[in-house]
A and B are shown apart, each in its own frame.
Chain A
Amino acid sequence: METFIQSVVSGVLTGSLYAMIGVGLTVVFGVMRIINLAHGDLVMLGMYGAFWGLTLWRLDPFVSILLWVPLLFLGGMLIYRFLLKAIIPGGELNTLLYTAGLSLLIANLALFVWSGDYRTIKLPYALSPMRPFGIAVPVPLALAFGLAILITAGLSLFLARTDLGRAIRATSQNPEAAALMGVNVDRISMVTFGLGSALAGAAGVLLAPSLYLYPTVGEILIVKCFVIVVLGGLGSVVGAISGGVLLGVVESLGAVYVSVAYKDTIGFALFMLVLLFRPSGLFGVGKS
């Protein structure tokens, strides 16, 4: 029983970070119908941001996140404005191929500049985990979990309550109608892409103390990310959060009760089943 609770807890903790990555992807998809294959590479950039912040300037990742998130927000807006905007009219497959190119470009530039070495972030307070109720919880992961909840809740509030958030949701539901109501769809798309990139970057910074860093890590993250958003329904924020936590728990339980080696396979198998039988997502909230 204790093993079960332990693995559910660590699954939920990791899952919250997956959820953040998934939310970024799904918001962008909702507004622009772009499946951004470079999303995982933006997470990678966030991870390296955390690493270099700590290595060069002794900045704790939970501090340097304040620097990287706005930078990635800006970077995302520039990517939209100067790269993606011209491609979007070409259709979904063109943008898919284009972002695949962007992904390979970012990952390989990182490989070229930072080399393929595996790196880790060592934080002094990561050495001994907290033990509430006898369950081991690594401190950086717990911190990341708290921040992930704060950020995701903040985003939900932003989408629900502010004018800009309403405009984003309106564009997501129907771009033409939103444009007729006076929403500047182009500007909304740019902001949304920035937002998605910022979320990816934030998740990267938060994940960095718990994962190995290497330039092509985005490849694995993006695949997980697809699993998450397809589980929850592409385009749905609530779906992405549930999907992320679900994947975290499934992986963690799978690693304990099935096999460590096949834990990723369980996620993929789930992914295929959902794609086939419930393409609008497990929770039926997304659009297929």
Chain B
Amino acid sequence: MTATRPPAPKFSGGSAAADGAARFDLLRVPVVGRFLRWRGSRTALQIPVLLLSVVMIAHAFFGPALAPKNLAALLTWVHFRGGIVLVLLFAGNFFCMACPFMLPRQWARRWVSPRWNWPRSLRNKGPAILLFVGVLFFYEWLDLWADPWATGVLIVGYFAAAFLVDLLFRRASFCKFVCPVGQFNFLGSTMSPLEVTVRDPGVCGDCHTKDCIRGRRAPGANGDGSAGSRPILQRGCELDLFQPRKVGNLDCTFCLDCVYACPHDNVGILVRLPGEELAVGGTRSSIGDLDRRKDWTILTVVFVFGALLNAFAMISPVYSLQQAIARATGLTVEWPILGFLFALALIVEPAVLLGGAAWLTRRAVSSSLSLGAILKKFSRSLVPLGFGVWLAHYGFHFLTGALTVIPVAQQAVRVATGRELLGAPRWQWGGLPESVVFPMELGFLGLGLLGTLMVGWRIASELAPERTFRAFAPWAFVSVLLFASACWILTQPMDMRGTFVAG
């Protein structure tokens, strides 16, 4: 893991080129690589997911109102979430690649061209952070996991939002600035073993067309010399990631437009050390310096502490706490109590823990950096642990309930057609026993802690080469504390409740 990899070493060629050639490249794998290099591969992946989404929406509105019997609730809250984290862990951001929300907007853009650029004041993660927190809040408040109809509304709303945003605003505005699932995937994919990157930086140094970001248009020129309305032959990166200066997976949707656009066949899906990019400082294409991005820091905090909050909300003590608050305040409705818990978990707790760690680090190494600067620098070291918590939580639901989709689908077909075309529902099919999944959950958390400590150490060594341990110790303490909290949550009895009993 290298902490101080310069931001644009890909221009330098030399050993980097040899390194790139030696690394495993998914695009060079016989069948899979050939498929991914095909320009229609993304659409080919999106179409079945879109069709599945249509089935889910139909089942949400016209199927059974019982979540365990409904494909919308089951696939959204068990398989989709579990699938995302496992694919991120073992491969990369392939969900964004197969994202069904992009397909309708893609087709619509053939007839309607977006008119505006995304507002300058909103070119940050602010809207996505609000939506991220909003989804977490409404998930708890409205018991979305138990409500197929509300889940269907969420899916339709998602399609509508992606469609409208990208029909009004140019480029991939929805993915980059709005989509909360996308932001989750961006941060999660920092832990992925694969990244879309250049094979030989030296080739980029000699490239003058920069098609990977500009794209390619049909030959010819308009009278004013601009690209004008010449048809696009191949899009460049719609998220403004310039491959030679791109670092890691942040903001990368794995759309592979850069792969198809590069005239030198110099972009691949290469293997790398998961989490390495979190230890890298400096400027990144289209993102800038993470150490200066307050919005990325807030997103990271929501990602990490939201993981704990989301898991905490599933266990018995949260209901005792809610009832205690209800008794103390006299409140008989849930949303203000939930709001209080959210403020506690996403604002107060991070402010105390991370602010305290930053203050101790600053004192320990007599740094001239502000508290905020230290906090921004170290906060990203918590991403591996946060991802470990999401993985443990969503992995639990997925692994213990993976096969439940089979009887639910069998039942849906039986009800829809009146015939058992998929066979009689096998309701006894579930998944792995909890006793088997629990050690896996602890393993995910342990790996997350290890990654967090490694990244934290690298950041500390960059901040204070002579007093690394002093700079690192407060963050190690916070990391272990969060790890212990997550372990405690996992050992608590599950109590998946949708009812709020006040008083």
**A, B assembled together:** no
Interface residues of A (CB under 8 A from B): none
